Amino acid sequence: MKVKFLIISLLIISWFSAGCSPSRVEFDKKGMTEMKNVAVVMYSVPPSINYRDNPREPGKKSLLQLATDVATANNGPKAAAAASATFIEGVNKGGLNIKLMPFDTMMGNAKFRALASNYVKLIEEEKAKAAEELNKSSAGKALNMLGSLSSAMGGSGVNQNEGVGPEGIPSWGVQRQWGGAKTAIMGGASEKKFLKEALEALGVDGVMVVNDPGMSFTCEFCVGGTGSGSTGSAFLVTLVGKNEKSILEMRQWFLTSNNSAAMAAYAVNPLQHESLFKGHGEKMAQVYVDYYKEEGGK
């Protein structure tokens, strides 16, 4: 009886660990057959990769969990760089007709590098201007105070859609409501213009946008936040072709990724962060390849 219970428990844990909740918004089979060379031009994650009980929901945090967030502040760019690299490698090993341009190759393109740099500066200027305008108003000051208070109490704050990418890559943010989002693209005019210009600069068949608002540390086989740590995800992928039309829209999630690390009191060993971020990209690639094949892609 005990053995049966253990087997059932392990099966349930395994299901949730691998758990993906697909929402097949769009998969243009004909358009996908024309996609041979694609570049991942945006890979957006939260500014800080922190602990979450559930990657699909920010949720409230205990004081202990909030304390661990201090040690992981502003690690988003590093996480995005490591995860995007292994995501690209994983997809390219998946036996699909589509091939993703390696990150180093993409950044080695002088036109694209200059283009991306210009948009990074543009976004920073827009943020600074918006912040200045907000601070001028009493309502803005109240919102800033509310955001700080919300963050301190374990809430998600005012700027929930703040996002970052690998260094040198622009990000227009992460989707605030992952469950209701239908695309990885935030939708602004400058973002759409960047995608069009990036496609032309790189000379590829399509450009891909990955938006991962749920990237977070998670607890795998833990008691009281101590045990084996991993990363979870709630992400979206959009692929845009030369006609600026979306060819693939994907929304998926997972509770744990490929690598694990020591976790104590909800804090992951800092020396193992890089390994977890790489495992995160590998798991995302597996999910992408499986989805692609399920939809009839080759």
Say whether pLDDT at 9 is over 70: no
Integer Cα distance of 199 and 106 in angstroms? 11
Residue 149 lies in a domain: no
Does residue 215 fall inside a structural domain?
yes
Find the mean pLDDT for residues 264-271: 84
pLDDT band at 255 (very low <50, low <70, confident <90, very high): very high
Looking at residue 62, what is its pLDDT? Answer: 58
Q: What is the pLDDT of residues 223-245, one digit of tens each?
A: 878 888 899 999 999 999 998 89
Range of the domain at 111: 21-117+163-294
Question: Cα 66 to chain center, whole Å?
Answer: 21
Asked if residue 141 is part of any domain, the answer here is no
Domain assignment of residue 263, yes or no: yes
Q: For 86-142, write each residue's pLDDT tens digit.
A: 999 999 999 998 999 999 999 999 999 999 999 999 999 988 887 787 777 665 555
DSSP 295: T
| For the ranges 58-72, 135-149, 199-213, the one whose mean pLDDT is highest | 199-213
Residue 1 burial class via C-beta count within 10 angstroms: exposed 0-12, middle 13-18, buried 19 and up: exposed
Q: Determine, yes or no, domain membership for 219.
A: yes
Residue 86's closest CA among 270, 283, 234, 290?
A: 283
Residue 126 located in a structural domain:
no
Average pLDDT value for the chain? 83
Are 268 and 65 contacting, i.e. CB atoms less than 8 angstroms apart?
no
Q: Determine phi and psi for 192, rounding to 5 degrees.
A: -65, -35
Residue 153 has pLDDT above 50, yes or no: no
Residue 25: phi and psi, rounded to 5, are -75, -45
- Residue 192 pLDDT grade (very low, low, confident, very high; cuts 50, 70, 90): very high
Does the structure show a pLDDT above 50 at 45? yes
Per the structure, the count of domains in the chain is 1
**Does residue 93 form part of some domain?**
yes
Residue 53 covered by a domain: yes
- pTM (2 d.p.): 0.83
pLDDT at res. 297: 56
Report the candidate in 264, 277, 221, 180 with the shortest Cα–Cα distance to residue 17.
Answer: 221
